[in-house]
Amino acid sequence: MENNWANEFYKMQYEFIGDYPEGYHTESANEILEQAGKPVQSMLELGAWDGSMARALSKHVKQITTVELIKEMAEKAESLNPDNIETIHGSFYDVSIPQKFDAIIYIDGFGVGTDEDQLNLLKNIKHWMEEDGCALIDIYQPEHWKKADGIEMYLSPRTMPHIKRRYTYDFEEDIMMDTWWHEKDEKLNSTQYLKCYTPDEIYKLCKQAGLNIIGYYPHGAMDYESMKYNEHASLEECLSYRIKVMK
């Protein structure tokens, strides 16, 4: 499965954002381990970026395997990883991984491609999961992103004052589009496209893949009138939510 935009967008995104400071993912790593609900000996991370989340988790998990599409980021991860992290460069839609895992995570990024692509990925996740294992997957909530259609802002006025983004929404296909560019040249822009799912829709898709959702964890929401982020939001209003699935 290929998405021509993915390589370009995620490489550009990494060039703009750069490395996360040490300790940046500590809180998120602790949250993931708490949501897993039991000690995790082996973990698979999909869409691992430069491996910084995996490194935060590696202090508590015996063995971690990561899969990253962008070659430069996979190489960066390999140069920084401790011995208990293995990095695989490739697409998680078609990569071959013989091992089974206690926990699988896909943080912020599910929805690349078609419904059929997502179904195939969920089937892969089931295949990679131990019988008593679980997966934690972030899902974009369509009701929030419908409200974001047409919103334009600076990515981070304090740390990246020249980088802008624009949200648009495909109401027929339920796809959130996020376009980034440098304010000096909007023509040099790049866009990611992520399919959004309501809780009912992702429940049905997981059922098709042979997975059961046993938990929903809503994230925060952006108030686009005040342009302020609220850390707590309902499952219907959040910008994304995390599902916990098991066989």
In this predicted model, what pLDDT tens digit does every residue of 181-197 receive, in sequence order?
A: 998 889 889 999 999 99
Give the start-end residues of each E strand in 95-239.
101-106, 129-140, 152-156, 160-170, 175-182, 185-195, 212-218, 221-223, 228-230
The residue out of 193, 215, 233 marking a domain boundary is: 193
Is residue 13 domain-shared with residue 132, that is, in the same domain? yes
Is residue 186 domain-shared with residue 235, that is, in the same domain? no
Is residue 169 domain-shared with residue 75, that is, in the same domain? no
Q: How many domains are there within the chain?
A: 2
Is residue 212 domain-shared with residue 173, that is, in the same domain? no
Is residue 160 domain-shared with residue 184, that is, in the same domain? yes
The residue out of 193, 214, 232 marking a domain boundary is: 193
Positive or negative: CA dihedral 192, 3, 141, 54:
negative
What three-state secondary structure class fits 232?
A: coil
Range of the domain at 44: 4-141+198-246
Is residue 85 domain-shared with residue 26, that is, in the same domain? yes
What three-state secondary structure class fits 141?
A: coil
Is residue 78 domain-shared with residue 36, that is, in the same domain? yes
Is residue 189 domain-shared with residue 239, that is, in the same domain? no
The larger pLDDT score, comparing residue 203 to residue 12, is at 203
Is residue 158 domain-shared with residue 48, that is, in the same domain? no
Structure tokens at 159: 């740390």
Is residue 104 domain-shared with residue 167, that is, in the same domain? no
Measured CA to CA in angstroms, residue 8 lies from 36, 120, 123, 166, 229 at distances of: 33, 23, 27, 17, 28
Residue 2 has pLDDT above 60, yes or no: no
Measured CA to CA, the distance from residue 162 to residue 144 in angstroms comes to 26
Is residue 82 domain-shared with residue 154, that is, in the same domain? no
The residue out of 159, 174, 193 marking a domain boundary is: 193
Q: Domain holding 34: CATH number?
A: 3.40.50.150
Residue 52 has pLDDT above 90, yes or no: yes
Measured CA to CA, the distance from residue 114 to residue 129 in angstroms comes to 23
Q: What is the pTM of this model?
A: 0.95
Summarize pLDDT for 70-115 with one digit per residue, the tens: 999 999 999 999 999 999 999 999 899 999 999 999 999 999 999 9
Is residue 154 domain-shared with residue 78, that is, in the same domain? no
Measured CA to CA, the distance from residue 174 to residue 191 in angstroms comes to 16
